[in-house]
Amino acid sequence: MANKRKTKRLSTRAVTRRVRQNIRSIPASTLEITTSNPSTSSKRSSLPSQQKITKRTKLDITSTSANSNSNLPMDGYTILQNQLLFTLMCKTNCESCGNRWNGTINIKKREGLFVILSFQCSSCTNTITIETSPKVVASDRRDINVRSQIGGHLCGIRYAGLAKLMGAMNLPSPIQDERYSKWDKNLLLSIKSFSDRSMKKAVGEAVTAANGKELMVSGDGFWQTRGFQSRHGAAALLSCNTAPKVLDIETCSKTCNVCFGALAIKNSNPAKYNDIIRSHHCEKNYNNSSGTIEAHAVLNMFQRSVSKYQIYYTKYVGDGDSKTFAALSDKPPYPGKVIKKIEDLNHFSKRMKHQLETKKRQYGKEQLSDG
Ligand SMILES: [Zn+2]
Ligand SMILES: [Zn+2]
């Protein structure tokens, strides 16, 4: 069980890592802010760390500053203390009167981390303004606020955590809580659309690498909370190329927040309760025990692989002790095709070590028959 728990934590981390690898390409492909290269995450290999860093730096440079010799990513941000900004301004000349600038900096407008700053020259009162972050195309939202919101979710700290982080960094507070919740809904749509495209692309790459439609995949499950009591869980299937990528994800929820919240008015206002229950998109899609979520979710993904991607998962790398392969054997998803089970070395070694330690505990202090 302890090993299993650890596995789940690692797996969640692994998936988060892949999301993080892909996050740099969100602006170009989904949020449509800049023209940065959407394929920055295309090659993840087992290069040593130093090489990886060098490679990433090169990618940053080529993708963001094509027209200059600068090594500063033009779509990136720089945290600059306001005092230093003021000092910098004092080293420039006013564009209107030509005198050395000496004036005031004010916040004209603020929306979360985004601000409009105005610089007024004290000699001629000429004022110039700058916006600290671009707008997301076809939206009123600012890039920096969208990024911080995605970051909050990736780190699992959401609004309250972001507010603390911004406080500690001496940065402005994130957007107001109500707007944050409202924007979450739109953000989810964008993230879903992005992840669908990303997974489709990964399937294409896996098919090319395998030179056919029969793929080897590895799968693992993870839960929202540790252990097997969690009400929400998910599983992911990953390609087994040199740069493994997520091909499909399935989530299972044993509860629905809307159903749960509506219970509060079930007796006092049954008409409204029924209305809410009828009109909402219920998140609850699983009834069995949390421990079987992984097997259920993986089986679902196998069963839809042909209709979704026109591919077959014919080799499965599992974690040895899960119920998953049993589920795949009980309900074969592809008639006439056998799925081969491949045990991954990490789990095999862990189980072997565990069994050897058990034997050691059992016989460690006993005199064996052969002396
Ligand atoms: Zn001036
Ligand atoms: Zn519901």
Range 212-236 average pLDDT: 86
20 confidence band (pLDDT: 50, 70, 90): very low
CA of 253 to the centre of ligand 2 (A): 10
Q: Which residues pair with 239 in a beta bridge?
A: 217
Q: Give the ligand with the smallest distance to the CA of 282.
A: 2
Structural domain boundaries in the chain: 213-360
* Alpha carbons 334 and 60: distance in angstroms, whole number: 43
Task: Give, in order, the Cα–Cα distances in Å from 317 to each of 83, 159, 190, 312.
Answer: 56, 37, 31, 14
pLDDT tens-digit readout, 288-308: 888 888 899 999 999 999 999
The pTM of this model reads: 0.61
CA of 261 to the centre of ligand 2 (A): 9
Range 120-131 average pLDDT: 95
* Alpha carbons 290 and 287: distance in angstroms, whole number: 9
What residues sit around ligand 1, an ion, with C-beta below 5 angstroms? 94, 96-97, 121, 123-124, 126
Name the phi and psi angles at 196, rounded to 5: -60, -45
CA of 103 to the centre of ligand 1 (A): 9
Tell me if 231 sits within 8 A of 224, measured CB to CB: yes
CA 22 to chain centre: 8
Neighbouring C-alpha atoms within 13 Å toward the C-beta of 203: 20
pLDDT tens-digit readout, 133-185: 999 888 889 999 999 999 998 898 888 999 999 999 999 999 888 888 888 88
43 confidence band (pLDDT: 50, 70, 90): very low
Burial 216-240 (b: 16+ CB within 10 A, else e): bbbbbbbbeeeebebbbbbbbbbbb
What is the residue-wise DSSP string for 146-196? HHHHHHHHHTT-HHHHHHHHHHHHT-PPPSPHHHHHHHHHHHHHHHHHHHH
Quote the longest CA-to-CA distance of the chain.
100
Q: Which residues pair with 220 in a beta bridge?
A: 236
* Alpha carbons 4 and 97: distance in angstroms, whole number: 70
Q: Which residues pair with 106 in a beta bridge?
A: 118
CA of 234 to the centre of ligand 2 (A): 18
pLDDT at residue 34 is higher than 70: no
Task: Give, in order, the Cα–Cα distances in Å from 134 to each of 31, 71, 76, 195.
Answer: 11, 20, 11, 23
pLDDT at residue 23 is higher than 50: no
Name the phi and psi angles at 336, rounded to 5: 85, -5
99: left (phi over 0), alpha (psi -120 to 50) or beta: beta
Structure tokens at 86: 């003021």
Structure tokens at 92: 């420039």
9 confidence band (pLDDT: 50, 70, 90): very low
225 confidence band (pLDDT: 50, 70, 90): confident
Percentage of residues in the chain with pLDDT exceeding 70?
80
Lowest mean pLDDT of 14-23, 159-168, 217-226, 321-330, name the range: 14-23
Tell me if 316 sits within 8 A of 295, measured CB to CB: no
CA of 56 to the centre of ligand 2 (A): 43
CA of 93 to the centre of ligand 1 (A): 8
For residue 28, give the DSSP letter: I
CA of 193 to the centre of ligand 2 (A): 23
Residues near 311 by beta carbon (within 8 Å), at least 6 away in sequence? 203, 206, 207, 213, 214, 215, 305
Q: Helices in the chain by DSSP H: which ranges?
A: 2-23, 26, 49-64, 82-89, 143-154, 158-169, 177-210, 257-262, 270-279, 293-303, 305-309, 324-330, 345-363
pLDDT at residue 367 is higher than 80: no
* Alpha carbons 55 and 43: distance in angstroms, whole number: 10
